[in-house]
Structure 1
Amino acid sequence: MAASSNSSLSGSSVSSDPEEYQPPIWKSYLYQLQQEAPRPKRITCSQEMESRPKYYGREFHGMISRERADELLEGAEGAYLIRESQRQPGTHTLALRFGNQTLNYRLFYDGKHFVGEKRFESIHDLVTDALITLYIETKAAEYIAKMTTNPIYEHVGYTSQRRNRVTRQLCRGPPQSRKVTFQQDNKIPSPSSLGLRPTARDQEKHCSYEKAHNFKTHTFRGPHWCEYCANFMWGLIAQGLRCTDCGLNVHKQCSKLVPYDCQPDLRRIKKVFSCDLTTLVKAHNTQRPMVVDMCIREIERRGLQSEGLYRVSGFTEHIEDVKLAFDRDGDKADISEDVYPDINIIAGALKLYLRDLPIPVITYDLYSKFIQGAKISNPDARLEAIHDGLLMLPPAHYETLRYLITHLKRVTMYEKENLMNAENLGIVFGPTLMQPPDQNTLATLNDMRYQKLIVQILIENEDILF
């Protein structure tokens, strides 16, 4: 086995000072192997084949046996042809010469050519990629098996590689370390006796929202190296994965080892609405989505006494205008009274934002836990179950829910003017904040009263639960 090259394409070395970023050393061994891989050699058929499918060329030899294909390919490493199967007429096989033997693969076409997951525009590209993969996996099987054991990621760090140090976020996370036992009597105990809240209500604590990378298969143009293990990503197409939120490029096997440290890049976030909640707050380095903050500030400034707040709908086209403004301008969007005098438009935009989240504020994973908690008949046990569910929410979701419920509590303080009590707000926000993961219509209808009850309980016990 050849040793891995320690040469760097950039000629630089890793600094021992973590604050001083130096370009990482890329390992070129696998790149060198790709350059050595056999090149495709098409074995053409001398006869005109009437049965040849229009998406194959002269490499199609009709219905010939495996033995005949082996004879045609013998002695030519990288040679290939296509034949129709004798056992299953109408199906096609790619016969490829590699390692002094003929390899046969069932070949498919659906607008592109494929034998596995990868799809190619041409047979030539398919064979090129196959030869590269076969050659590297044959020559460097042991190396590939070990290449994630000493990743460069752990030495230079993803944050150091890709950008200047990111200021750690301030966030208000749930008091995870506190296990609450509710007292069994006819009234809910006071917040101080339960110890559910920090001493100072608005005290902020330092923490960072963890976020998994959003990896998608990616085709890289030109040579690319894995930013986890620093090895070359081989192949012609779909060589690895790229995080669509931050741009991290890694091998498929390396993606399983990358920490949950995605720091989304604003240049990659195409919109505000329908964007994952944690992705958005990390991209903007905020505690909560700016939509929630800006809309609630505007509503509390001029709308708390508005009759039917959140129940009365604003004009749909105006709500869509607000959505477009946020998607286009982000936190620079103008939602002032001069532009939208009807506060119901801002309230409608806030509800639309929460409803359009790909993962609801009360996540799909925790939906059943909250519903089952709401079904408990004993009020104290029910409150404890809902509190346990809150502690399990992702930090960004918890903080968004906390801020929203605190706002809705203030809305109920103006019930005489706006006619919106906790029960009414529960009816409005229940299906907005939580949705069943399977979207079963019957289950949704059956759960609606519990969705309403959960939000009602959160509002009525806001000072205890948060």
Structure 2
Amino acid sequence: MENLRNIWKPELYRIQMEAPKPKRIVCEDCADRPEFYGKEYHGVMGHKEATSLLDGEPDGAFLIRKGNSMNDFFTLTWRFNDRIHHYKLYYDGTHYTNTNKTYDCVYDLVADGLITMHMELRARHILEMINSRANYTESPYITLNKKKMNTLTRSKVPSLTGSPAINKISNSTSEENLTKSVNNLDLTPSLEDNPLLTKYSKSHSFKTHTFKGLNWCELCANFLWGFTAQGVKCEDCGFIAHTKCSERVPNLCLPDLKKLRGVFGIDLTTLLNAHSSTLPFVVRKCVNEIEARGMDSEGIYRVSGFADEIEALKMAFDKDGEAADLSQYSNINVVAGTLKLYLRLLPVPLVTYDVHARFVRAIQCKTPPEQISALRECLDQLPPAHFNCLQYMMQHLHRVSQQAEVNKMSAHNLSTVFAPTLVATPPAITDLAFEIRALQTLIENCPLIYYGNK
């Protein structure tokens, strides 16, 4: 399971977070302001005057004007990379430029445009790599779903036995060997050469999609950047990809897989919004099960469960949701391993990339009270979904650590196990000493940090 730790690639996400934010340059008095613009509209204005208004403003500053009263379009003027840019802007119920994207408000258009330009400037090397190196057999889609896909493909075999291709194989191969062939199915880009699959594999039905929340391409593992039309989604099986990546996806669309694709590997905020919840049910159910029968288990969270059983429980969560039965897994380390796997597969860990630096600085304060105060301020910067889930986990790990005499899992031991999973660290960082110390402080001082209780 350890090879799943780096399944998602965060670089594009981090670069998007660094993009300039829109800043509206306000005009208070404008007699002929259209009803679909606000105070960012400055009336008829030449580019020199518009440029002068943006002098000294930060990247992201923008205004809207008309070059002259006869134009059938407006002009968006903004500052990016210390230069002034001008774009034709139109409105037909939605706002748009000369791209195929439309926006409900000008702010969203500007924000998305700034991200696009920032990506082109700062992430060109990654975008070029995406277009040349994505490997389907090593993609998150296959990594996360291979066992489910094998299960689905095996279930299809009986309906195929009457086909000429299958009969041809059956005439030359025993039933035992045929079953073995399917059980050992290797999902590779050369699927069209496998007669067992060509009879029911189909091409994806990709449609341009605007994703809410944060999403990652299931072919190349990179972030789907932007605010609108970030990529495509297969209407039949749910496969998500960049538009360019979708052109290299093999024809292996399994609509039944859409029913099994559940909660693992999905951004936390996106998942909780979709479920109208404040906490992932995987986390809640696993914690409840561990606290019911695993608090005195020596090495809980450190001792690994059986990989096959963890995979089975993962599939149960994806298929059955909250109805998944954890009691059938007698080895509590399987439940603990599944919880760690869920947290490890989050595209953005609980302690997010943009909070990481402050998290590390907080623990370097000179005195414990200063550290606790700085950690409190750091936690307040987390998105609500991350704040709530991290708090729930710290409260749980605090209770686990209180039984360290029995389970041998002190706050330090627990933080050593969880630091690589809970804290988003840049790839170049291999020494997690500060991250471990910070998590240990959160676990030991959980009541004080979250509730102000000593």
* TM, length-normalised to structure 2: 0.46
Decide which structure has greater helix share. Answer: 2
User: TM (normalized to structure 1)?
Assistant: 0.45
Bigger radius of gyration, 1 or 2? 1
